[in-house]
Amino acid sequence: MIDTLTPLHPSGLVAILRGMNPAEAQAVGESLYASGFRALEVPLNSPQPLRSIEILRSTLPADAVVGAGTVLSVEQVRSCHAAGSQIIVSPSTNINVIKETVALGMDSFPGAATPSNAFDAIEAGAKNVKIFPAEQVGLAGFKAWTSVIPQNIRLLPVGGISEENMFEWAEAGATGFGIGSSLYKAGRSLDDLKKRADKLVDAYRTIHEMRNSA
Please report how the helices 95-103 and 115-123 are oriented relative to each other, as an axis angle in degrees rounded to 10: 40
Can 41 be counted among the known catalytic residues? yes
Please give the DSSP secondary-structure letter assigned to residue 64.
-
Catalytic residue among 24, 41, 54, 163: 41
How open is the CA angle 186-68-124, to the nearest 5 degrees?
A: 145
- CA of 53: how far to CAs of 11, 73, 180, in Å? 16, 18, 17
Alpha helix positions (H), the chain: 22-35, 49-59, 74-83, 95-103, 115-123, 134-146, 166-172, 190-213
Can 130 be counted among the known catalytic residues? yes
Catalytic residue among 24, 100, 130, 163: 130
User: Would you name the residues annotated as active-site residues?
Assistant: 41, 130
